[in-house]
């Protein structure tokens, strides 16, 4: 079983905001009858509200 699979979003309504999806697979999720899918977007589309590990100036 591959751990990650990348899919292109072919939905014309959402593909601009989320061009790709990552299907995450793990033995921990085998008992669930579902998938864990993470939508990917361009980093420029969203600005972080705070920086977890700020770089020193």
pLDDT tens column, 12-53: 999 999 999 999 888 877 788 888 899 998 877 777 677 777
What is the reported pTM? Answer: 0.64
pLDDT at position 1 is 61
At residue 29, what are phi and psi to the nearest 5 degrees?
A: -100, 0
């Amino acid at each position: 079983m591959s751990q990650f699979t990348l899919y292109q979003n072919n939905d014309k309504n959402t593909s601009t905001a989320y061009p790709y999806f990552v299907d995450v697979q793990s033995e921990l999720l085998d008992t669930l009858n579902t998938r864990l899918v993470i939508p990917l977007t361009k980093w420029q589309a969203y600005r972080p509200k705070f920086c977890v590990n700020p770089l020193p100036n």
